[in-house]
A and B are shown apart, each in its own frame.
Chain A
Amino acid sequence: MKTFLGIPLARPSESRTAYKSEPGHATTLQGDTGGGHLASEAAHNPTTIPTEPLRWGTSFPEAAQRALSNDQLRHNLGFATKTIRSKRAAVVAEAPDWEDLRDAGSQTKINVLASLPALLEQFERNFTARGGHVHWARDAQEANEIVTRLVKEQDTTEVVKVKSMATQEIGLNEYLAAQGIDAFETDLAELIVQLGDDLPSHILVPAIHRNRAEIKEIFERRMESLPEGMSDAPRELAMAAREHLRKKFLRAKVAISGANFGVAETGTLTVVESEGNGRMCVTLPETLITVMGIEKIIPSFSDYEVFMQLLPRSSTGERMNPYTSMWTGVTPGDGPQNVHVILLDNGRTRALADDVGRAALKCIRCSACLNVCPVYERVGGHAYGSVYPGPIGAILTPQLTGTTGHSDPNASLPFASSLCGACYEACPVKIDIPTLLVYLRNRVAEEDKAKHMPTAWGAAMSAATFVMSDSKRFAAASKGAGALRLMAGKKGYVQNVPLPIIKGWTQSRDLPSAPKETFREWWERTHPDAPQESPLPTDREDNA
């Protein structure tokens, strides 16, 4: 069987539509999202925006294989992720209490998930008391309908948008377009993606896969008036974007944002950003609509003291991002007077119901795990087929959508990892992504087994299943030796990973020659007096 990264390539690459779970809103963007474009350009590079932003395209192995053949993409990604990694490392090293901050951030988010109903109700009370309106949306469709209704109430056909993962997740722009409403992305990278009829490939820098020459070409094709003789220097391109968006900000009646945090104790919402486009959106229009996942709640205003340190350093590798806006309902005479928030479920309660998998909901969307991931660095964001790519996407996406067995492309996502553990080390809220990946792999295998569908996946997972069928064994194995050991079975031979990972891996890169003995063999040889059954510490500090 043909494999990639050890994952069997068993399914044909067509069946996206088979996974449509609700009325879709497929839109072929043909040159009318940036406002007033040349008609002759309309047919250039049309891209079908996926009906499901959390499940597009083919399975990860197939998409990854295609991505790897794109040299330009690999070069752009390699450069970008290396740059962010070193910036992050420098500012993290500067904070002597970084690990203490991670501990606080992690426990705070655990507490949030455990107390979610009370915190949401508290947030609702406080936001409402300050003149804001709270809406609840069970799924993407419902959220999109609420936004559309609120926009139409303002008698306008255009809105400005702050970069927001939640609104990408629900496919809001495409939905609004189908309703005759233009949604202008105002973050530079989102603008590049939108004008290029493209899809985002990174949580923080969605156009990370584009280089300056490509961006210049997109701007020339899609912007009305460009500065004479504009070069591809980033400064000149950024200034062109400033001019392009300025008039849209000034005339906008409605803005749509996401939220990095919502404070239960006060009803405060927060947007963390760099360019000032966020400030423009949450300040100038009369109406502000915020779409926030229900897990973005933090209990107290004072929790900012942790998260406003963790997020900027992890995300952009800065001590602090240039701009953060915090607003609490309506402030008379200052900013939007018609303020709404939509609390979005869209699969979050499904993820919450899994007492292991729910840890993915601690995520604060910093994207540090993407930048340190050797798989992401090589295949890029599009291969994950979801607006949430990278290691966090691999555990979040399949839980938000649920999976329908191994032929569902999202079922392949937990396999999109070498389990090297770098993501866990980088995560500011200490999500144990490698353990969750292995856990979800097992879940996929179990789902297949339940359907009496013996597959290569199921067989591959059999060794791991023994370990994971008992929570104590699972805990000992995952804590003791890292997630790979789960795959190794009781003998502990890491070479004998029951998935043909090594074969697939070497299709795309060199692998150092295998050691003559396993770690366990080496340990037993060099530590004859050590306990035999547990060569590594059985507990880690963070789980104490």
Chain B
Amino acid sequence: MSTARTEILGSIARALDGVPSGIGQGELAEVPRAYRRTSDLLPGSSQVIDILIDRLEDYKAHVHQVSSTDDIPAAVRDILSEASSVVRPAGLPESWLSMLPPSTTVTTDAPRPGSQGLSPYELDAIDAVVTASRVSIADTGTIVLDGQSDQGRRAITLVPDTHVCVVLASQVVHLVPEAVALLDEHPERPLTWISGPSATSDIELNRVEGVHGPRNLHVIIVG
């Protein structure tokens, strides 16, 4: 038990000791939750998909719509026609990359449980990554990855310059609270919320897409 810990907790206890605030700065109370926690728009409905597409395009992501999972391989092939190397997480359906030309090198990151993944340098030499996703939020144009085997380690969706991300219509909710409720089932998983490609507005508030994260974000919406 460190001295610092004991002292800080003691200071807090002393600070909080005594009469609660008398001038309306607030006291312990139940949190009012009048905000929208569920939407009238159903997950995966056409209205929700339309909102998601609008938001994604607003943030300069490239959106590709296909009608079924059977169309994913062709969409991936078309998007990655320029890529010479692609990395995939071990749990990605094999078929999704099946139409890439033989000249494209496909590497599986951490192919077996316990095996070492690619180093940052190895990832830096790879053009693109293809993954699935966990949930998407239409209202904010956000895709969330939760590190499961069809999405892989966080590093593989970060270092390559192009990220192709597959979103199933059934995974698209309207509001932030709906997505948080879903993610709350496994809060221990490493989460990455992605809203468009990386961007900065640090120079005279001009938005520049693509700084350190993938400069190209392609979203394939299925269904």
Spell out A's residues near B (CB within 8 Å): 76, 79-80, 83-84, 96-97, 100-101, 103-104, 106-108, 110-111, 113-117, 120-121, 130, 135-138, 142, 186-189, 192, 205, 207-208, 211-212, 215, 234-235, 237-238, 241-242, 245-246, 249-250, 263, 265-266, 268, 274-277, 279-280, 283-284, 294, 301-302, 304-306, 308-309, 312, 316, 318-329, 331, 333-335, 343, 345, 349-350, 352-353, 355-356, 358-359, 432, 435, 471, 474-475, 478-479, 543
| Residues on A with beta carbons closer than 8 Å to the beta carbon of B192 | 279, 323-326
B28's partner among A111, A266, A268, A316 (CB-CB below 8 A) is: A111
Nearest CB of chain B from residue A190's CB, rounded to whole Å: 9
- B212 near A276 with CB under 8 A, answer yes
Residue of B nearest to A313 (CB): B140
A471's partner among B22, B32, B205 (CB-CB below 8 A) is: B22
Asked if B102 lies at the interface with its beta carbon under 8 angstroms from chain A, I say no
Residue of B nearest to A245 (CB): B212
Instruction: Give the docked Cα–Cα distance between A280 and B203 (Å).
Output: 21
- A323 near B194 with CB under 8 A, answer yes
- A275 near B212 with CB under 8 A, answer yes
Instruction: Give the docked Cα–Cα distance between A173 and B8 (Å).
Output: 24
A331's partner among B27, B117, B189 (CB-CB below 8 A) is: B189
Q: Supply 16 further A-B pairs (C-beta < 8 A) apart from A84-B205, A323-B195.
A: A80-B205, A96-B36, A186-B212, A188-B211, A205-B201, A215-B203, A274-B200, A276-B212, A284-B155, A294-B12, A302-B181, A324-B192, A328-B189, A349-B14, A356-B23, A358-B15
Nearest CB of chain B from residue A486's CB, rounded to whole Å: 12
| Residues on B with beta carbons closer than 8 Å to the beta carbon of A328 | 187-190
- B200 near A275 with CB under 8 A, answer yes
| Residues on A with beta carbons closer than 8 Å to the beta carbon of B25 | 110, 355-356, 358-359, 432
| Residues on A with beta carbons closer than 8 Å to the beta carbon of B120 | 249-250, 284
Asked if B11 lies at the interface with its beta carbon under 8 angstroms from chain A, I say yes
- A306 near B55 with CB under 8 A, answer no
Nearest CB of chain A from residue B211's CB, rounded to whole Å: 4
Query: What would 19 A/B residue contacts be, using CB atoms closer than 8 Å?
Result: A80-B205, A100-B36, A104-B31, A110-B26, A117-B16, A207-B202, A212-B204, A235-B208, A237-B203, A246-B124, A249-B212, A275-B198, A275-B200, A301-B184, A308-B180, A322-B213, A323-B198, A345-B8, A471-B23
Count of chain A to chain B residue pairs whose CB atoms are closer than 8 Å in the complex: 283
| Residues on B with beta carbons closer than 8 Å to the beta carbon of A117 | 9, 12-13, 16
Instruction: Give the docked Cα–Cα distance between A114 and B29 (Å).
Output: 10
Tell me the count of chain B residues lying within 8 A, CB to CB, of chain A. Answer: 83
Nearest CB of chain B from residue A235's CB, rounded to whole Å: 5
- B212 near A242 with CB under 8 A, answer yes
- A305 near B204 with CB under 8 A, answer no
B15's partner among A84, A309, A320, A353 (CB-CB below 8 A) is: A353
Nearest CB of chain B from residue A22's CB, rounded to whole Å: 15
- B117 near A333 with CB under 8 A, answer yes
Nearest CB of chain B from residue A266's CB, rounded to whole Å: 4
Residue of A nearest to B31 (CB): A107
Tell me whether chain A's interface is mostly helix, strand or loop, or mixed.
Answer: helix
- B27 near A302 with CB under 8 A, answer no
- Among A192, A238, A245, A321, max chain B CB count under 10 A is at A238
Asked if B110 lies at the interface with its beta carbon under 8 angstroms from chain A, I say yes
List which B166-222 residues lie within 8 A (CB) of chain A: 176-177, 180-181, 183-184, 187-206, 208, 210-214
- A110 near B29 with CB under 8 A, answer yes
Nearest CB of chain B from residue A167's CB, rounded to whole Å: 18
| Residues on B with beta carbons closer than 8 Å to the beta carbon of A323 | 192-195, 198, 213
- A334 near B190 with CB under 8 A, answer yes
Beyond A323-B193, A324-B192, is A114–B32 a contact (Cβ under 8 Å)?
no
Asked if B147 lies at the interface with its beta carbon under 8 angstroms from chain A, I say yes
- A335 near B154 with CB under 8 A, answer yes
- Give a binary string over B142-153; 1 marks a CB under 8 Å from any A CB, 0 the rest: 100001000001
Instruction: Give the docked Cα–Cα distance between A407 and B113 (Å).
Output: 64
- A479 near B158 with CB under 8 A, answer no
Nearest CB of chain B from residue A59's CB, rounded to whole Å: 27
| Residues on B with beta carbons closer than 8 Å to the beta carbon of A305 | 37, 176-177, 180-181
Residue of B nearest to A114 (CB): B28
- A103 near B34 with CB under 8 A, answer yes
| Residues on B with beta carbons closer than 8 Å to the beta carbon of A80 | 204-205
Instruction: Give the docked Cα–Cα distance between A101 and B27 (Å).
Output: 18
Residue of B nearest to A359 (CB): B25
- A319 near B203 with CB under 8 A, answer no
| Residues on B with beta carbons closer than 8 Å to the beta carbon of A543 | 24
Residue of B nearest to A539 (CB): B24
- A276 near B204 with CB under 8 A, answer no
Residue of A nearest to B19 (CB): A355
Instruction: Give the docked Cα–Cα distance between A96 and B105 (Å).
Output: 48
| Residues on B with beta carbons closer than 8 Å to the beta carbon of A284 | 120, 155, 158-159
Instruction: Give the docked Cα–Cα distance between A207 and B204 (Å).
Output: 9
